Amino acid sequence: MSDSDLAIPIIDISNPSPEVAQQVLSAASTHGFLFIKNDGVTIPPKDIDDMFELSRKFFHSPKETKQEYAIHSATAGGINRGWVSMQGEALDPENQKVAFNIAPPSPSTPLQPLPTPLSTSSPLISRFQTSCHTLCQSILSLLNTALQIPDSEYFTSRHDQRKGESGTIFRMLYYPASHKDDTKQTIRAGAHSDYGSLTLLFRLPGQPGLELLHPRTGTWVPVPVDPSSPSSPSSPLSNQPPPPILVNIGDLLSFWTCGLLTSTVHRVVFSGGEERYSMAYFCHPLDGVELGRVPSGVIDGFTGRESVQGRRAGALEEQYRRLGLEDGRGEGEGVGVGVLTAKQHLDRRLKVTYGL
């Protein structure tokens, strides 16, 4: 596979079948990225547009209001919630972005405290998060099928948010225009992999910048906003059909599947003259889910095959390295003495990122 043939497929999952499941697995294990055709129903395009409009209003609201809801603060509702300024995250020194993290509503707790204008749109935010989760569950169910896991609800029951707390988080992102040098390409979100099971990423037509690190060649490859319409107009208000939804595999799902699914490194790079918005839904399993090897003959076949070729060590060791567990066995916090839980996995990643 060379740079030019890194074609991320657009998969129509409206009629889930074993063939569709196979397409999802194939993209998830080669690129770690795939597009899902937007059926116009699961995540209503109007909600996506309204969320971007809300995001624009929010990021242009007074800085003092946003700062009160600083990430991890009690005002923002606790760990990994709230406002992140560009210096707040240890991803990359050139990082120039701001974000606001919102945890999903749970049956016991309503939405976390929100500043205006987010607070007046909580029904939209809750509905959007719920529909993102529904799409994640459909993708997880297809992966369950393709991996031939005997329990057909193995993944979905472990991501059932009605059953308890999870690390799932919805993030609104804003990359302000830079007035320093508006022609030079700069790194706006440093190279990283996502932490959870799946990420859904929403971007606007005319606002490219996302690049992925080609898993085999090690070169940066742009990810188009809408691959079905290469000449998409720069206006987000056009009457085009909604772009497909970009999905990528996170570290937790890669770790859980012994490296069969690929958590691909990506970044955001663009020249500074214009502002850019995006939204990411990071889906995680319930906190107590144990990340022992998923019971799948497909994974067993993969690890048997790959260990002969020496790649198993590489894929899994890379996941341990991202957890700060260099020797692959770990010390303390339940790692090495038992099976890592989803919460322990996330805590380790947050520790590496924020030094918590």
Ligand X SMILES: O=C(O)CCC(=O)C(=O)O
Residues paired with 192 in a beta bridge? 266
Sign of the CA dihedral 133, 135, 137, 139? negative
Question: Is 266 one of the binding residues for ligand X (CB under 6 A)?
Answer: yes
User: Which of 135, 198, 210, 283 contacts ligand X by CB under 6 A?
Assistant: 210
Taking CB atoms, the residue at the shortest distance from Fe ion is: 194
Question: Is 249 one of the binding residues for ligand X (CB under 6 A)?
Answer: no
Beta carbon of residue 336, minimum distance to ligand X (angstroms, whole number):
28
Binder of residue 268, out of ligand X, Fe ion, none (CB less than 5 to 8 A by kind): ligand X
User: Which of 27, 149, 260, 280 contacts ligand X by CB under 6 A?
Assistant: 280
User: Which of 268, 299, 323, 346 contacts ligand X by CB under 6 A?
Assistant: 268
**Nearest partner of 299 among 197, 149, 106, judged by Cα:** 149
Distance, in Å, from the CA atom of 66 to the CA atom of 115, rounded to the nearest integer, reads 7
Strand pairing category for 185-192 and 266-271: antiparallel
Identify whether the C-beta of residue 14 lies closer than 8 Å to the C-beta of residue 221. no
Question: Which run of H or E residues covers position 118?
Answer: none
Beta carbon of residue 348, minimum distance to ligand X (angstroms, whole number):
17
Chain-centroid distance of CA 200 in Å reads 5
> Which range binds Fe ion by CB under 5 A, 192-200, 270-278, 282-290, 331-339?
192-200
Binder of residue 278, out of Fe ion, ligand X, none (CB less than 5 to 8 A by kind): ligand X
CB atoms near residue 279 (< 10 Å): 21
Question: Is 28 one of the binding residues for ligand X (CB under 6 A)?
Answer: no
Chain-centroid distance of CA 181 in Å reads 30
Question: Is 278 one of the binding residues for ligand X (CB under 6 A)?
Answer: yes
Beta carbon of residue 113, minimum distance to ligand X (angstroms, whole number):
22
Q: Which one-letter DSSP state was computed for residue 169?
A: E
What is the binding site for ligand X (CB under 6 A)?
171, 173, 189, 194, 201, 203, 210, 266, 268, 278, 280
Residues that bind Fe ion (CB under 5 A): 194
